[in-house]
Each structure stands twice: as C-alpha cells, then as structure tokens.
Chain A
Amino acid sequence: MKKENFIWSSIKVGLLAGAIGIFLSLVGMVEVFNKRDVVEKVISLGMFLLLAISMIAGFIASRRTSDLLGGNQAGSNLLAGTLAGLFTGITLALFVLASDQLNLRAIFLNATPTLSGLLTFGRGSGGLWMLPVLGAGTGLAGGAFLLLPLLVRRPITHAIMVIIFSALFSSLFRVIMVNQGGGIEKAAKAIFSQTGLTINGALVFIFGTLFISILWSSQGAKVQNRVDRLPAKGKLSLRVFSILLIAYVAIMLPQAAGPFIAQVIVIISLYILMGLGLNIEIGFAGLLDLGFVAFYAIGAYTVGLLTSYGEYGLQHVSFWVAVPIAVLISMMFGGILGVPVLGVRGDYLAIATLGFGEIVRLLAGSDFMAPYLGGPRGIIGIQKPCIGTLGEFIAVDIPRVCNGIELSKPQDIYYVAIASALLIAFFSWRLRESRLGRAWMAIREDEDVAEALGIKLVQAKLLAYMLGAAFAGLGGAIFATLVGSIFATSMQLIVSINVVALIIVGGMGSIPGVVVGALALIGLPELLREVSEFRFLLYGMALIAVMLAKPEGLWPSQTISRELHHDEAADATS
C-alpha cells in the first residue's frame, strides 16, 4: 500500500514538473534562454532550465518518498527520483509530438519549430526518446542528491549556484574585467565567452567553489571563533576596514563598470528612494498607496520646469536649488492628496490613491496641460548638475556653460543617487526610532486603539504621506536629471506596482529589505535582458514564492527578527 503511494506521488510530481516545463516553453522562456549559455558549447541556459526542472522534480519526489516511508531507503528514493524525471521527460516529449502533429502555433505564438527542434536536440522526432532518458537521468541525480551527506551536498549546491550566477552575469563581469585591460582582460576572455562561461571558466568556478566551500565547512567555525574572540578594538577596526572596503568599491564601481551598469545602479537607487518613501506609508503606518508614482512625477516635472532650457522651462535655477524645491512641492501635494483620502481605510484608500496616480499621469500628458507641461512631447533639455562657482550653484545662464565639473554621465549621477539613497535610508531609520515611528506602527496594528491612546490619526497619517511623497519626489527629481527629459508615459501605474512589489518581497517595514527588494526586482531584470522579457511572470513567481516560503520578506524588519530570535532563545532555555 505504501509502496504504491510513493510511486504514484512520484509520477504526480513528474507530471507537474512536465507541465511547468511545457508552460515555460509555451511562454517562450526556454527559447529565449537558449540564446544564452551556461557553459559554452556544453549547455545553454534554456536546456539548463529544463534539466533543472526534472532534477528538482527528482529531488522533491525523493524527499516525499522519504516522508512517506518515514526515512531514507536508497532503492525507493532513487526509483522515485527516476520516475519523476522520467515522467517530466515523457510529458515534454508528448508535448513535442503534439506540437508537431497539431498546429499549436495558431494558438500559442511561441510553439515554434525552433522550440521543438530544441526539445529534440535538433534530431527531429528521431530525437524524441532523448527527453525521457535525459529526464530519468537528471531525476535520478536529483533523487540521489537527497541521499548524499550534507558535507557533500553543500559544496555541490554552492558550485551549482556560483555557476548559474556567474553565467547569468557573465557579460557584466566580462565588461568590467575587459575595461581593466592587461592581464585581467586576458583572464576575462579565457573565463567568459560572449554568451556565458567557457569550459575552462566553468571548471575554474566549479573547482574553486568546491575548494572554498569544503575549506569553509572544515575551517569556518574556527575563523568565526577567532573573530568572536577578538578584543573590542580589533572588532572595531575589522568593521571600519570592511566599511572602507565597501565604500571604496562603491566609489570605484562606476568608473570600472561603465555607463550601462552605472545607469542600472542609478535606477535601482531611485527605486530604493521610492521604496523607502512608500515603506513609511505601507511598512510603518500600514497605508496602502497604489498611486505612488504621482509624487515621483511631481518631483520630476518640478525639476523639469525649474531647470529646463527647452521651451517649457520656467526658471533656470541649478539642479541643487531645484531638487529641494521639488521635494517640498511633492510633499505639499502629498498633503493636498492626503487630507481628503486619509479618512478612508484600507482597501478604499488603495483605490483612492490609485485614482490619484492615474489622474496625475493623464493630466501631465493631456492637451489641457500641454501649454505648461508639454503634453505628450514632454519636457526636454533638463540641465545636468554642475559643481562649479557659487553662482552656478544657484542659477545658470542660457546657453548653459558649466565652468566646473558637470555631472552629465550616468557614472556621475550615480554618486548623487547613491548619496541620496543613503541619506534617505538614514532618515527612515531615525524616523522609525522616534515617537512618530511608534505612532505609525501603532496605527498599523490597531487604528482605533492608537486613537484612544491620544494619537491624532489624521495628523500622523498625513505626516507619513507627506514624508513618503517627499522621498518619491527626490527620486523623480534625480530621474529627470539622469534622463534629461521627462514624458508623461514614463509615469505608468506599473512604477507604483513595482515599488509595492519590492517592499513586499524585501520585507514590509524593513529598510534593508527595500534595498534587497530593489536589487532583486529592479536590478535583475535591468541587467538580464532575457529575464526582462518575462519580468511580470517572474514578479508573480517571486511574490508567490516569497509569500509561501518567507512571508515576512527576504530581509524582515527588526521587530520580526527580534521575535524569531526570542523564540529561539525560548527554545534554548526550555
């Protein structure tokens, strides 16, 4: 009876994994990923994706078997893994057969001949048998993986992760290293190919990781111990050293990495700014705001109007003067919006703010406002910041001449963006550790009780709104300067949704969580062109995965970790 159970459950896992494989093929992910390599001439990213699915299926089937049988039984585990992998392969093979026989392409745009060619390894229907066989093989490997002792398993996991990571970002590393010239350039060319890792590179990474991982698991505890036993002074200097190292890397990075990466980091920083702003509303005070992009737009347009030397520029003050004004105006609009909508609660607030965001975008792009905001043509010719004479700090002549250093390239704006993000993170932290932070948290927890304890609800919420708006306005202001022009079309609802998503993934109310969320949800798609095509699919998957596996977020706020810590402590004493 039990035996049947585990066989049937393995088959189910396999069928499910096959369905996931078919889904990813049909949305075009496999084909797009196939253009990238994990290891050149050995395995492409698309193939790797499918093999990983069957391997994971094998692993899960094997683990479920252990659960069903109440322990590992090598034979059953391996059988379960193989079965799961086999059925993954069979499902995919059936899919290839079906797409050859029926004209699936009429419905599914991505069911191209290329895809079936890819799934049969270029051998047409003659290669169909390979899918089940490969599936069974990887499934078996996945199943066997569970049986390995942790000491073996961990280095292998690390090696696989490092390989994927370095392959995904190979072009990035390659660019950085090639920019250095000399020996580093040669090394880059030996390790990275145009599309992924070279065979040599892969071997270097695999053995390097295995070596380090094994070394760490045998020696790591000792090193940890020694660090712990350092005198306070030693710890401090270690800390100062690591901060200096990070600062050095942060300062040198844009010069080494070039404009593209600098621009990506600027965009991440802007999302961090917005994330920190929205975090005050959602994370601290529990006010769901779906129209956050409005304040971003207001910040951007203010800077545009104040500094543009195009036809819509009202003034020609410098960036340094325009930014504080933009922040103040965003804050003011936060107040104007806040007064009418903050009376409503929860879901209704989300809808009201959603409407506000759309109104701002539509107004900015409308014919009605076109004489002032340029309508669909937007505002162009926004000045770059200039560090020069005192006069240039305040206002500039037209035509624009900067006698000092002009921060015109993304590499230069990078510093402004990073500094702003750091400053705002610091502000957020200070605010949270004050009576206002406590009042916001109290409102989030129980609005009625908070009010009964003497907190003026409207005032506290309004402040959260205005500060959130101010942070977003700062983000918008930097964005306008980075791009040099603004259009109403860049103020889409999706920006607001991105910000909400990164807060949820990072961890509500957590300041480092915002950074992690922005890196994962904004940084990855920006860096990986292949991924950005499936941005929303991956968003959805990431959100579901986080909600299921780590509902408190990737880097949860102190309160929650404090609680977890307390639970551990309680377990230890009991």
Chain B
Amino acid sequence: MTTPILTAKKVIKRFGGLVAVNSVDFEIPEKSIVSIIGPNGAGKTTFFNCITGFNKADEGTITFEGSDIQNLRPDQITRHGISRTYQNIRLFANMTALENILVGQHKFLHSSWISAILRTKSMLAEEKGALDEAQRLLNFVDLKRKGDLLARNLSYGEQRRLEIARALATRPKLLLLDEPSAGMNPRETEDLTSFIRKLRDELGIAILLIEHHMRVVMGISEFITVLDYGEKIAEGTPKEIQSNTRVIEAYLGRGAATEGMDTAHERFSNKKS
C-alpha cells in the first residue's frame, strides 16, 4: 500500500443515543479507488459527511495529506482538495450547467466586488480562464453542447455527470462519490464504471465510493470497507470481501453465508424497492 492520502482514526459520530459511526479506522491510499459498502443505515453517508465537514465527528481524528481536517468548515475542507457528489443529486437547479461548474471554480477566483463592477482587465482575464476551464470540464463529461441549459432540464444521467464535473472543478485530490449509479440502467452503469476509472487514470486523483451496485463495486474498487450498524466489519480486496462470511451475514442474516454476493445483493435491492 502506498502512503495514504486520507487517514481516519477511531471516528465516532453520535446522533443523540444512536451511534451512527462507531470507532471506524479507515485509509485511502493515493490514486486508488476505494469503496464503502453496507446495508442501508449502516452509517456510510454519515461517515462521508464527517470527512467533508457536513457533520463534525464526536471523537477520533481525520487527517488529509498529513493535516488535521477534523474541525474545519466544509469550504475549508474543499480548499484542502476534497470534493464530493450527493446521493440525491444536489445541483443548483435554476442555474445553467456552465454556471454550476463555474461555482465549483469559486475558490480559484479572487476578483473583488469592485473589480466586478469596473470589469477590470484582470477580472475579465480571470473570467475568461474560468469559462474555458468550465467548457473543458463539460467536454470531459460529454456535455459539450449542454452548457446553456438549466441544470434541472438535463436528463438524469446528464445531471449525475454534471455533478461530477462540478466536483472536479474544485480540482480535488480526493473525490467522494455517493451512490453515483443510483437510478441508472445497466448500460449507463457500465459507462459510469469506465468513467470512474478514467477519472482516476487521467486525473490521478483518489476516489472514494459509496455504492450499492455490487457489479460496480467489485469491478473497480481496489479496497473495500464494509460498515454495518456504524461499525467496520470487514475490509480488503474485492475477492476477500466476496468470501467474507460476516459481510454476507450482514446483508442477508445468518445462514445465508453460502450464497454468492451478487445474488445476495440482488435480494437486498429487491427488498429495498
């Protein structure tokens, strides 16, 4: 394992009496694709929120590239180089696709309100650069001609891609994707899988996934961590996880450990829908 880009130690998050994340140790190596899986309510998204500053962990430490990001605000964490997408798409629905990405670049733009009113040369140059970059990102996610459409008028898959492009606009070193394949058909899911791989290979960033589609998870993850009732019950390579009896039990209950993970997951998702 190379040096970890993110390290979480003994992270605990409580909501009242409920312990949503219980003493989780976790590492993301540089330029790797890591997944967190687990049944609904296992604390996956809460853990995500602890990393991105949406929730403050009650105990434990989270360090990113050696510096403590535990008590930082979300915007400060983003400035460190962590960016995320959301389980339910949270685009700025009434802004155009291009504007959504431009908002993502906010942290690189510095012109003041006075230069905005005066349209100084440096402000115009900065805007021009931002626009070019935004268009490049649009092209990167295959939304070349959709820049002027309002985000809410894009199709579901396009919205997912736009959200990723917006997250990329902050130039993250670590990208957190919260169930990116939710609501996608098998074809789109396959495209997504190769797209995530392309992200890592071309941009050299680390990716942390929360995912229910076992095909995606097993296909692209280098490491998998399994959470259940807020606790880490297993971690390892996809192969190790697939044969881990505790994991299968967590998904299907005792006695089902003999069944394969994929069928297990199918049942699980049927139950969900």
* Chain B nearest CB, measured from A197 CB (Å): 45
Q: Chain B residues with Cβ under 8 A from A431's Cβ?
A: 113, 116-117
Q: By the criterion CB–CB under 8 Å, are A453 and B104 in contact?
A: yes
* Chain A nearest CB, measured from B145 CB (Å): 13
Q: By the criterion CB–CB under 8 Å, are A441 and B95 in contact?
A: yes
Q: Chain A residues with Cβ under 8 A from B150's Cβ?
A: 559, 562-563, 566
Stretch of A252-260, A350-358, A443-451 lying at the B interface: A443-451
Considering only residues 33-84 of chain B, those with a C-beta below 8 Å from chain A are 52-54, 73-75, 77-79, 83-84
Judged by a CB distance under 8 angstroms, whether A560 is at the interface is yes
Q: Chain B residues with Cβ under 8 A from A438's Cβ?
A: 95, 99, 102-103, 106
Judged by a CB distance under 8 angstroms, whether B90 is at the interface is yes
Q: Do A445 and B92 contact each other (CB < 8 Å), given the known contacts A436-B116, A454-B107, A562-B150? A: yes
Q: By the criterion CB–CB under 8 Å, are A451 and B92 in contact?
A: no
Interface centre among A433, A438, A452 (most CB of B within 10 A): A452
Judged by a CB distance under 8 angstroms, whether A427 is at the interface is yes
Please, how many angstroms separate the alpha-carbon atoms of A455 and B169 in the complex?
13
Judged by a CB distance under 8 angstroms, whether A434 is at the interface is yes
Q: By the criterion CB–CB under 8 Å, are A434 and B116 in contact?
A: yes
Contact with A along B162-202 (1 / 0, CB 8 A): 00001001100000000000000000000000000000000
Q: Chain B residues with Cβ under 8 A from A560's Cβ?
A: 94
Q: Chain A residues with Cβ under 8 A from B86's Cβ?
A: 449
Judged by a CB distance under 8 angstroms, whether B153 is at the interface is yes
Considering only residues 97-112 of chain B, those with a C-beta below 8 Å from chain A are 99, 102-104, 106-107, 109, 111
* Chain A nearest CB, measured from B163 CB (Å): 9
Q: Chain A residues with Cβ under 8 A from B106's Cβ?
A: 435, 438-439, 442, 453-455
Please, how many angstroms separate the alpha-carbon atoms of A435 and B122 in the complex?
13
Judged by a CB distance under 8 angstroms, whether A456 is at the interface is yes
* Chain B nearest CB, measured from A317 CB (Å): 24
Please, how many angstroms separate the alpha-carbon atoms of A434 and B169 in the complex?
17
Judged by a CB distance under 8 angstroms, whether A542 is at the interface is no
Contact with B along A392-420 (1 / 0, CB 8 A): 00000000000000000000000000000
Q: Chain B residues with Cβ under 8 A from A446's Cβ?
A: 90, 92
Please, how many angstroms separate the alpha-carbon atoms of A290 and B148 in the complex?
34
Judged by a CB distance under 8 angstroms, whether B256 is at the interface is no
Q: By the criterion CB–CB under 8 Å, are B95 and A448 in contact?
A: no
Cβ contact of B73, chosen from A427, A433, A451, A467, cutoff 8 A: A451
Q: By the criterion CB–CB under 8 Å, are A448 and B94 in contact?
A: no
Q: Chain B residues with Cβ under 8 A from A562's Cβ?
A: 96, 148, 150
Cβ contact of A566, chosen from B75, B79, B149, cutoff 8 A: B149
Cβ contact of A436, chosen from B95, B113, B119, cutoff 8 A: B113
Cβ contact of B103, chosen from A450, A457, A563, A566, cutoff 8 A: A450
Q: By the criterion CB–CB under 8 Å, are A559 and B103 in contact?
A: no
Q: By the criterion CB–CB under 8 Å, are B95 and A454 in contact?
A: no
Residue in chain A with minimal CB distance to B53: A452
Q: Chain A residues with Cβ under 8 A from B153's Cβ?
A: 563, 566
Interface centre among A435, A442, A448, A563 (most CB of B within 10 A): A435
Q: Chain B residues with Cβ under 8 A from A454's Cβ?
A: 75, 78-79, 104, 106-107, 170
Judged by a CB distance under 8 angstroms, whether A529 is at the interface is no
Interface centre among A427, A454, A456, A457 (most CB of B within 10 A): A454
Please, how many angstroms separate the alpha-carbon atoms of A453 and B79 in the complex?
8
Cβ contact of A453, chosen from B78, B117, B149, cutoff 8 A: B78
Size band of the interface chain A makes with B: 20 to 34
Considering only residues 131-154 of chain A, those with a C-beta below 8 Å from chain B are none
* Chain B nearest CB, measured from A262 CB (Å): 29
Please, how many angstroms separate the alpha-carbon atoms of A438 and B131 in the complex?
13
Q: By the criterion CB–CB under 8 Å, are B111 and A453 in contact?
A: no
Q: Chain A residues with Cβ under 8 A from B83's Cβ?
A: 452-453
Residue in chain A with minimal CB distance to B77: A452
Q: By the criterion CB–CB under 8 Å, are A451 and B75 in contact?
A: yes
Q: Chain A residues with Cβ under 8 A from B84's Cβ?
A: 452
Interface centre among B78, B92, B119, B148 (most CB of A within 10 A): B92
Q: Do A453 and B95 contact each other (CB < 8 Å), given the known contacts A430-B117, A439-B103, A566-B149? A: no
Judged by a CB distance under 8 angstroms, whether B123 is at the interface is yes
Judged by a CB distance under 8 angstroms, whether A273 is at the interface is no
Contact with A along B115-136 (1 / 0, CB 8 A): 0110100010011001000000
Q: By the criterion CB–CB under 8 Å, are A434 and B104 in contact?
A: no
Residue in chain A with minimal CB distance to B93: A445
Judged by a CB distance under 8 angstroms, whether A463 is at the interface is yes
Considering only residues 132-155 of chain B, those with a C-beta below 8 Å from chain A are 148-150, 153
Q: By the criterion CB–CB under 8 Å, are B92 and A449 in contact?
A: yes
Q: Do A559 and B78 contact each other (CB < 8 Å), given the known contacts A439-B103, A452-B84? A: no
Q: Do A441 and B99 contact each other (CB < 8 Å), given the known contacts A435-B116, A566-B150? A: yes
Residue in chain B with minimal CB distance to A445: B92
Considering only residues 217-235 of chain A, those with a C-beta below 8 Å from chain B are none
Contact with B along A549-574 (1 / 0, CB 8 A): 00000000001101100100000000
Q: Chain B residues with Cβ under 8 A from A437's Cβ?
A: 116
Q: Do A448 and B103 contact each other (CB < 8 Å), given the known contacts A427-B117, A453-B170, A560-B94? A: no
Q: By the criterion CB–CB under 8 Å, are A467 and B90 in contact?
A: no
Residue in chain A with minimal CB distance to B92: A445
Q: Chain B residues with Cβ under 8 A from A445's Cβ?
A: 92-95
Cβ contact of A452, chosen from B54, B117, B123, B148, cutoff 8 A: B54
Cβ contact of A456, chosen from B75, B111, B119, cutoff 8 A: B75
Q: By the criterion CB–CB under 8 Å, are A442 and B116 in contact?
A: no
Please, how many angstroms separate the alpha-carbon atoms of A461 and B230 in the complex?
36
Q: Chain B residues with Cβ under 8 A from A430's Cβ?
A: 116-117, 119
Q: Chain A residues with Cβ under 8 A from B117's Cβ?
A: 427, 430-431
Interface centre among B117, B126, B166 (most CB of A within 10 A): B117
Please, how many angstroms separate the alpha-carbon atoms of A436 and B110 in the complex?
10
Q: Chain B residues with Cβ under 8 A from A434's Cβ?
A: 111, 113, 116, 123, 127
Please, how many angstroms separate the alpha-carbon atoms of A338 and B247 in the complex?
51
Residue in chain B with minimal CB distance to A570: B153
Q: Chain A residues with Cβ under 8 A from B96's Cβ?
A: 559, 562
Cβ contact of A448, chosen from B74, B107, B113, cutoff 8 A: B74
Residue in chain B with minimal CB distance to A457: B75
Query: Interface on A for B, CB 8 Å cutoff?
Result: 427, 430-431, 433-439, 441-442, 445-446, 448-457, 463, 467, 559-560, 562-563, 566
Given A435-B111, A453-B75, 9 extra CB contacts under 8 A? A427-B117, A434-B127, A441-B95, A449-B92, A453-B78, A453-B103, A453-B107, A454-B79, A454-B170
Question: What are 25 A-B pairs at a CB distance below 8 A?
Answer: A427-B117, A431-B117, A433-B116, A435-B127, A435-B130, A438-B99, A441-B92, A441-B94, A441-B95, A442-B95, A442-B103, A445-B92, A446-B92, A448-B74, A449-B86, A452-B53, A452-B77, A452-B83, A452-B84, A453-B106, A453-B107, A456-B75, A559-B96, A560-B94, A562-B150
The 10 A-B residue pairs with the shortest CB-CB distance, nearest first, are A434-B116, A454-B107, A445-B92, A454-B78, A435-B109, A452-B74, A442-B103, A451-B74, A430-B117, A449-B90
